[in-house]
A = this chain, B = another copy of it.
Amino acid sequence: MKELGKRVLAGDIRAASRLIRNLEDQITDTYIAIQEIFKETGKSHVIGITGAPGAGKSTLTDELIQAYRSQGKTVGVLAVDPTSPFTGGALLGDRIRMLRHAEDPGVFVRSLATRGAMGGISKAVGEGIHVMDVLGKDRIIVETVGVGQQEVEIINHAHTVIVVLVPGMGDEIQALKAGLMEIADIFVINKADREGAGKLYKETMNMVQMSRDRAGVSKGWQIPVLLVESVMEPHKFAESVEKLRDKIEEHYQFLVDNDLISERMRRKTAAEIQEALWGAIMCPILNEMEASGEMKRMIDRCLLKDTDPYTLADEIALRYMKEGLAKDICADS
């Protein structure tokens, strides 16, 4: 394993692909490779793209790659795919993604899908970003399917967050938008030719204007709402995505000029430390409990109502942890 990080640092694409696969499989040893490359990270501009299924994020990402390549910038893409809980594995897959860039050495696309570990996807995304970062990609696009808490965690890794909305997705979207309002740096109304696009645009603009000052990460940034034309109109589509690209650059410059980048970096690092703590503390305990068959016995006892998960958890904590840690309110962990 030790070689893997060094080979990635040397620009070995196959080593990078292998490392990302290992992250996906949550092989704990991969942390050694990430340790090797960590000092070289932090150079790329990370762009998060999220939104509901069917919003057209992949098509948008594909065109955004094009828009950056036309400026000579290199691009990495991490596509977080819906995970099969039992088999794991990226369902959309690299194969069917961004085919037209397959031969372009300036573009590196990987899908990520991780198994059921709590925070597992977010951890793998943070590490995947490091890999593409040390490969020297100028821009890294993280694309996630969905709009839940998990996507929020993933998006914490990005400097610039794009939320893609699309007409005709039902009322739930209205509620989702309110949550998205707090993570979005740029709203995109996709498939602008669709019925209801104008209405959605107005509603989103209203929400943006009504939204109070945002939490630290983008103070003073006026969230723009961009209309992106249908892919059926290739020329208009490309033009509106170029506008999006320029707006993304403008946002990054805004973060730099207002010294807000550091806040994003802190947020990202805090998440990474918490995820590393999970790997260093919880994983060994859970593994030992599985291996010894204790987990099975504990489940049996809970099913018999002979005890409860909380009492058992306190017992385990006493056994594995040194004295003197008080249990406390834990709202923001």
Partner-B contacts on A (CB < 8 A): 25-29, 31-32, 34-35, 38-39, 42, 52-58, 81-87, 91-92, 114-122, 145-153, 168-173, 175-176, 178-179, 182-183, 215, 262, 265-266, 269-270, 272-288, 290, 295, 298-299, 302-303, 305, 308-314, 316-317, 319-322, 325-333
Contacts and interface: CB of A to CB of B under 8 A. Distances in A.
Contacts of A179: 82-85, 91
A247 B118 CA distance: 32
Nearest to A130: B308
A128 to B, nearest CB: 15
B28 A330 contact: yes
Given A145-B148, A299-B266, A330 B283 contact: yes
A53 to B, nearest CB: 4
Contacts of A56: 170
Contacts of A26: 330-331, 333
Nearest to A330: B283
Given A53-B52, A146-B146, A280-B317, A312 B170 contact: no
B333 A286 contact: yes
A172 B148 contact: no
Contacts of A91: 175-176, 178-179
